[in-house]
Structure 1
Amino acid sequence: MGELSRSCRLGELSRPDGSVMLSEGETTVVAGVYGPVEVKMKNILIDKASVECHFRPKSGLPGVQIKSFESIIRNICETALVASLYPRSAVLVAIQEMQNSGQLVSCAVNAACLACLDSGIDMKCMFAAVTCFLTNSEELTLVPPLNQKDLKASFVIVFDNTKGTILDSQIMGAFSEQQVEEAINLCREESKHIFEFYKRTLLAGGN
């Protein structure tokens, strides 16, 4: 099934309240969390903080796919943060793509969680995203195929650390119902390793 290496550095940026550079395999992103900060009047929420996400691709301008990434990360952060503690304010999550080898969304989601943890903002839960791939040989693996032609389907599943609840999922390609179940189980087991990685990272100070 393959194993995916991870490394990160907390406090990578000086301006955000929390930041991280996270690498998963050959995919790397930098994430920063600002907030709670002053919010524009049009976005103000009386009973909680509004959450915004800005995703910058490695090159070019943000397209439809990038807007989808932003929506995914924003919704997950809204679920995980205790936004009710910060009414009439905003929490800004900024993601910069550095390198993408196939698991950009899950790496970005995990970087957002680590940046939130680094900022010290109150959270109801941690969250972890896992990407697994179904090859043409019907093998599920956490390591992206070297050749995109060998890829039959991909599964991005996001879990919380309290009950293992699925917070979000993105599934593309051709697959059977059984393969979806197997992919979810594989991703759930890998998410446990990610939560342990978070804990080790925080204890070590991100080095």
Structure 2
Amino acid sequence: MTEETTEIDCVLRPMNCEINLLSRSDGSTMFMQGETTIIAGVNGPIEAKSQKMAYDKVSIEVTYTPLKGPAKIDDRLIETYIRETCESAILVAFHPNTMVCINLQEMQDSGGLLACAINASCLALINSGLSMKFTIAAVSCMIEKETGIVIIDPDSTQLKNAKAEFTYAFDSINKDIVCCHSVGQFSQNEFLASMDKCKQVSQFIFDFYREITKKYANIV
């Protein structure tokens, strides 16, 4: 399953995924965006540990494992973004006193790692059958140093010429931002222009989710 070209002067790298990859997870996927690859597994709702229990909602725990070496500060930041993003999408009040564990394994990073991880997490949650308010699509982009052009879903080679990088995540209902991460220097106009382009491109990711779900579900 591949989505590639958009109609708004932007190109998404090809997306592919494999569902139900992990036998011991309630939902899992290997999601590829270009050559960037993440494996995500979801378990839950399960009984929460007392120190992590929330009496009025489900607790979300995210564990991100980099390809090489122990987790670093940047990896903990990825966990925080994914946890807060997924918590906004899950109907947390449906499962009080329980926990949902999202485990992510980096397989390859060729740019857009955070966006790929968020999209992999969303697909794994869909596959798990957990009740959600909406799905989430994350899109990365950059502003080129020399030209000031907004490039959607850049790879690691293109990112070497970036003066600013962005990752936006949008909900499937109103296309509101549920997550935003930025690096570098940029103006307000550049921020708004990049956000607008990513918002438009996000529809292609939601369409990809729909096609994948049709392929693996009997009723959509």
Q: Is the structural similarity TM-score above 0.5?
A: yes
Q: Tell me the TM-score normalized by structure 1.
A: 0.96
In 2, Cα distance between the equivalents of 1:100 and 1:182?
Answer: 26
**Which residue in the other structure is 1:92 paired with?**
101
Q: How many matched pairs?
A: 206
**Which residue in the other structure is 1:29 paired with?**
38
**Which residue in the other structure is 1:141 paired with?**
151
In 2, Cα distance between the equivalents of 1:79 and 1:147?
Answer: 31
% identical equivalent positions: 34
- Are 2:116 and 1:107 aligned? yes
**Which residue in the other structure is 2:198 paired with?**
187
1:66–1:145 distance in 2 versus 1, CA, 3 Å: closer
**Which residue in the other structure is 2:18 paired with?**
9
Contact (CA 8 Å) 2:110, 2:156: kept in 1 or not? Answer: no
**Which residue in the other structure is 2:7 paired with?**
none
Cα shift at 1:144: 2.6
Match of 1:45, SS? Answer: coil
Alpha-carbon displacement from aligned partner over 1:91-137 (angstroms, at most 9, x marks no partner): 00001000001100000000000000000000011111100111122
Q: 2:169 aligns with which of 158, 169, 179?
A: 158
Q: Which runs of 5+ in 1 are unaligned?
A: none
**Which residue in the other structure is 2:130 paired with?**
121
Q: In structure 1, what residue type is equivalent to 2:148?
A: E
Contact (CA 8 Å) 1:135, 1:145: kept in 2 or not? Answer: no
Match of 1:146, SS? Answer: helix
Alpha-carbon displacement from aligned partner over 1:122-174 (angstroms, at most 9, x marks no partner): 00111111001111221211223515431211110110011111001011112
Contact (CA 8 Å) 1:22, 1:29: kept in 2 or not? Answer: yes
Contact (CA 8 Å) 1:113, 1:127: kept in 2 or not? Answer: yes
In 1, Cα distance between the equivalents of 2:185 and 2:84?
Answer: 26
Contact (CA 8 Å) 2:55, 2:96: kept in 1 or not? Answer: yes
In 2, Cα distance between the equivalents of 1:177 and 1:41?
Answer: 44
1:155–1:122 distance in 2 versus 1, CA, 3 Å: same
Match of 1:48, SS? Answer: coil
Q: In structure 2, what residue type is equivalent to 1:141?
A: I
Q: Which runs of 5+ in 2 are unaligned?
A: 1-9
Q: Tell me the TM-score normalized by structure 2.
A: 0.90
Alpha-carbon RMSD across the aligned residues, in angstroms, is 1.3
1:161–1:151 distance in 2 versus 1, CA, 3 Å: same
1:177–1:93 distance in 2 versus 1, CA, 3 Å: same
Of stretches 129-138 and 142-151 in structure 1, the one that deviates more from structure 2 is 142-151
In 1, Cα distance between the equivalents of 2:67 and 2:151?
Answer: 25
- Are 2:49 and 1:40 aligned? yes
